[in-house]
């Protein structure tokens, strides 16, 4: 029974993060996150006007707090940045590993903290630890083929 509860606690945050928000408008994403909160999750959604980001905080069934930040392109208004953070390193690494396991992205590890998708997806992941806070950021880039090849070669 405990095994199922632990698995469920990892699945709840997965439903709100990691690449399924890319390309959505600020309004679409706000509506989706508010619906998530309305469905009884222990979450709060706010718009950070200072940083022009949409922020959602959530607590999973084991009591771990998660913070999701979504950044938007100034010209198109589409979501191009998703950051997931928590003080639970294992929780964040599990979410990151779930994203890295998606075969269609063909992730390649560049170094200890960065991964790049296949060229056509234009995605970059950056892992970060700041004190006892762990996070990864998924970024939709606009790289050229030349820049992409240079990154992969290093």
How confident is residue 149, by pLDDT bands cut at 50, 70 and 90? Answer: confident
- 84-126 pLDDT per residue, tens: 999 999 999 999 999 999 999 999 999 999 999 999 999 999 9
Phi, psi angle pair for 38, to nearest 5°: -60, -30
Q: Which two tokens stand for residue 106?
A: 């063909």
Task: Give the residue numbers spanning the domain of 125.
Answer: 2-153
Give Dmax over CA atoms of the chain in angstroms: 51
Count the domains in the chain. Answer: 1
In angstroms, rounded to a whole number, what is the distance separating the alpha carbons of residues 21 and 28? 9
Of the pLDDT bands very low, low, confident and very high (cuts 50, 70, 90), residue 11 is very low
């Amino acid at each position: 029974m405990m095994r199922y509860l632990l698995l469920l606690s990892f699945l709840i945050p997965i439903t709100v993060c990691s690449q399924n928000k890319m390309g959505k408008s600020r309004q679409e994403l706000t509506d989706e996150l508010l619906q998530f909160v309305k469905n009884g999750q222990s979450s709060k959604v706010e718009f950070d006007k200072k940083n022009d980001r949409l922020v959602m905080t959530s607590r999973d069934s084991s009591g771990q707090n998660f913070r999701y930040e979504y950044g938007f392109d100034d010209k198109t208004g589409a979501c191009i940045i998703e950051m997931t953070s928590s003080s639970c390193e294992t929780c964040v690494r599990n979410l990151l590993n779930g994203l890295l396991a998606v075969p269609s992205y063909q992730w390649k590890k560049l170094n200890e903290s960065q991964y790049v998708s296949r060229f056509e997806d234009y995605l970059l992941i950056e892992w970060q630890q700041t004190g006892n806070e762990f996070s990864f950021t998924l970024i939709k880039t606009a790289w050229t083929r030349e820049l992409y090849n240079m990154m992969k070669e290093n």
